[in-house]
């Protein structure tokens, strides 16, 4: 019934490792140095030292700390797993939404999500609060949350917003200096697209990854924290919906590769008009695909 001492346990084991590099009789560095070594506060360091002393690992009197014996396997504290899974909650949440095709206006139970994702409730609440900024979820009057979700309106607005950002990126890109890393990336992307185009019959599944890389590269030229944050959400949603929409996947992907290449052509020719035109066409296709994938689900 309080915060976990995970940090202490980790620090303790870290300090064991550190001591393993010393010889018996050596002096242990000052508390401050240990803080920096383990990236933790002095309070924790002192607690660790206290534990060490109690277990006869070190002597500790005033500022004289000495290693009495080398640490053994049995000295380690077991680190209760925990955090492992709360790292990429975002990824897993979207995965869940899209994989199970959770309907719009579904009430989300924090308790239930907390169990399925193995993440403490308050973390989920913070996460949902963040999503509510993007209008993906809302608070319900009677408590709890609701997925506002992937309705047609949502898809249209998301696509439109994406277009605005991406066309802006394209406009920036044609102005980029010749030594900007993007040109190297585009060259490489072109090669990857050409390569995949040749073996599209078999490996059409690989396109999803390539698509993400392509759009990320394009958007990377706009050094803007707002764009970047949004891009993360946008690309996740598009990515999963594409994966999900199996209808005519091969043709779609083949067509998309051509569209990407057309954009790259125009960009490398520094032809802003052509680049914007090609990008608009591609974004239009994307939007249609996203919408049709929704319809597909509504029927199925």
Partner DNA sequence: TCAAATGTTTTTTATGATTTCAAACCTGCC
Partner DNA sequence: GGCAGGTTTGAAATCATAAAAAACATTTGA
What, of a second copy, DNA, none, does residue 110 touch, CB below 5 to 8 Å by kind?
Answer: DNA
- Helical segments of the chain, H only: 6-20, 31-38, 42-54, 89-99, 110-117, 121-133, 152-174, 181-198, 200-203, 207-220, 225-244, 249-268, 272-299
Q: Which listed residue (227, 235, 285, 292) binds a second copy by CB under 8 A?
A: 227
* 121 contacts DNA (rule: CB under 7 A): yes
What, of a second copy, DNA, none, does residue 63 touch, CB below 5 to 8 Å by kind?
Answer: DNA
Q: What would the x/- binding string for DNA be over residues 208 to 227, using CB under 7 A? A: --------------------
Contact predicate 167/160, CB 8 Å: no
Only segment of 103-111, 197-205, 248-256, 274-282 that touches DNA (CB under 7 A):
103-111
Beta bridge partners of 27: 66
* 105 contacts DNA (rule: CB under 7 A): no
> Token pair of 171, please?
């406009």
* 107 contacts DNA (rule: CB under 7 A): yes
Cα end-to-end distance, the chain, whole Å: 46
Beta bridge partners of 145: 108, 139
> Token pair of 293, please?
């994938």
DSSP state of 39: T
* 281 contacts a second copy (rule: CB under 8 A): no
Q: Which listed residue (3, 73, 133, 225) binds DNA by CB under 7 A?
A: 3
Buried b or exposed e, range 110-126, using 16+ CB within 10 angstroms = beebbeebebeeeebee
Q: Which is nearer to DNA, 49 or 234 (CB)?
A: 49
Residue 287: which of 156, 141, 196, 190 has the closest Cα? 156
* 63 contacts DNA (rule: CB under 7 A): yes
Contact predicate 126/270, CB 8 Å: no
* 14 contacts DNA (rule: CB under 7 A): no
* 5 contacts DNA (rule: CB under 7 A): yes
Residue 213: which of 265, 154, 156, 264 has the closest Cα? 264
* 91 contacts a second copy (rule: CB under 8 A): no
- Other CB atoms within a 10 A radius of the CB of residue 295 amount to 12
Q: What would the x/- binding string for a second copy be over residues 169 to 208, using CB under 8 A? A: ----------------------------------------
User: d(Cα 168, Cα 164) in Å, to the nearest integer?
Assistant: 6
Q: Which listed residue (141, 177, 202, 299) binds a second copy by CB under 8 A?
A: 141
What, of DNA, a second copy, none, does residue 225 touch, CB below 5 to 8 Å by kind?
Answer: a second copy
Return the residue matching tokens 């185009």.
197
Least separation, in Å, of the C-beta of 195 and DNA? 45
Residues in contact with a second copy by the rule CB under 8 A: 39-41, 122, 125-127, 129-135, 141-142, 154, 157-158, 160-161, 164-165, 168, 223-230
Residues in contact with DNA by the rule CB under 7 A: 1-8, 30-33, 40-44, 46-47, 62-65, 82, 107-112, 120-123, 125, 139, 142-145
């Amino acid at each position: 019934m309080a915060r976990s001492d995970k940090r202490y346990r980790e620090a303790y084991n870290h300090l064991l490792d550190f001591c393993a590099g010393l010889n018996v009789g050596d002096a242990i560095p000052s508390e401050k140095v240990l803080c920096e070594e383990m990236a933790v506060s002095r309070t924790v360091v002192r607690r660790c030292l206290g534990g060490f002393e109690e277990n006869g690992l070190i002597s500790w009197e005033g500022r004289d700390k000495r290693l009495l014996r080398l640490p053994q396997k049995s000295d380690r504290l077991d680190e209760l797993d925990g955090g492992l899974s709360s790292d990429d909650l975002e990824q897993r949440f979207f995965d869940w939404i899209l994989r199970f095709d959770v309907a719009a206006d579904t009430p989300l139970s924090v308790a239930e999500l907390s169990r399925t994702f193995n993440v403490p409730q308050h973390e989920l609440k913070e996460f949902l609060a963040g999503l509510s900024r993007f209008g993906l979820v809302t608070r319900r009057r009677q408590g709890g949350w609701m997925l506002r979700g992937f309705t047609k309106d949502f898809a249209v607005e998301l696509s439109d917003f994406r277009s605005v950002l991406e066309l802006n990126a394209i406009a920036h890109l044609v102005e980029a200096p010749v030594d900007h890393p993007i040109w190297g990336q585009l060259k490489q992307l072109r090669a990857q697209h050409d390569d995949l185009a040749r073996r599209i019959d078999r490996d059409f599944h690989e396109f999803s990854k390539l698509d993400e890389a392509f759009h990320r590269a394009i958007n990377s030229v706009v050094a803007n924290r707002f764009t970047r944050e949004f891009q993360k959400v946008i690309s996740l949603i598009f990515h999963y919906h594409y994966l999900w929409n199996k209808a005519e996947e091969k043709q779609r992907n083949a067509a998309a590769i051509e569209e990407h290449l057309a954009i790259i052509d125009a960009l490398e020719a520094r032809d802003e008009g052509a680049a914007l035109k090609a990008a608009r066409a591609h974004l239009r296709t994307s939007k249609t695909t996203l919408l049709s994938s929704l319809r597909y689900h509504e029927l199925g």
